Every structure is written in C-alpha cells, then in structure tokens.
Amino acid sequence: MDEDAITNAQGFLTVDYGDNQHQLVDLEMVLHRHTPANVLSFLETLVSDLDRHLRRHIKQDKTDSRINEIVARRFRVKMALRTLKNSMAKKAA
C-alpha cells in the first residue's frame, strides 16, 4: 500500500467534530504492527460487525438515532477498505 492510499483511507476513518477529531481506526499504527492482508481482513470484519449492529437496531426500533451513526461508520470503513483494495490492485497490475 502506498502512502497516498493510506492517507486517503485514513481520511475516511477520521471524523471531524469541529473542535476535535475521532479516528475510527488509526491505520498508521495498525499497519506498523500487522500485514496489509491482516489489516484488510480486520476492516472487513469491522464492516460485518457494523452490519450486525445495524440489523439489530433496525429490528428493535427503526426510529433509533443510533442507526444513523452505524450507517455513517459502516460507510466510512467500507470506503477506506475499497480505497486500500483499489490501491493494492493498481500496484499489482
């Protein structure tokens, strides 16, 4: 994975609240400790977990505001995952 892809993916995984930022996942740290394949697997597992949470909340109460947060997190993780996978595919080609 190249630095551009990691930076772009980290952008999806960072939520800016104006006065502070929250990182859903710190890719730099995770990539220093694990292989890129393991990081991609972790992100895929995270998407699956968020899917389960989303289904559970929808079954319980469709008007629950936490659904919005889960959908936003899932979208961000999925976009970061796609960014990294696309980068690896381009590098392999």
Largest Cα span, the chain: 46
Residue 61, by phi and psi: left (phi above 0), alpha (psi -120 to 50) or beta? beta
Residues 12-45: tens digit of each pLDDT: 999 999 999 999 999 999 999 999 999 999 999 9
Domain range summary for the chain, segments of one domain joined by +: 3-92
The confidence score (pLDDT) of residue 20 equals 94
Whole-structure pTM value: 0.92
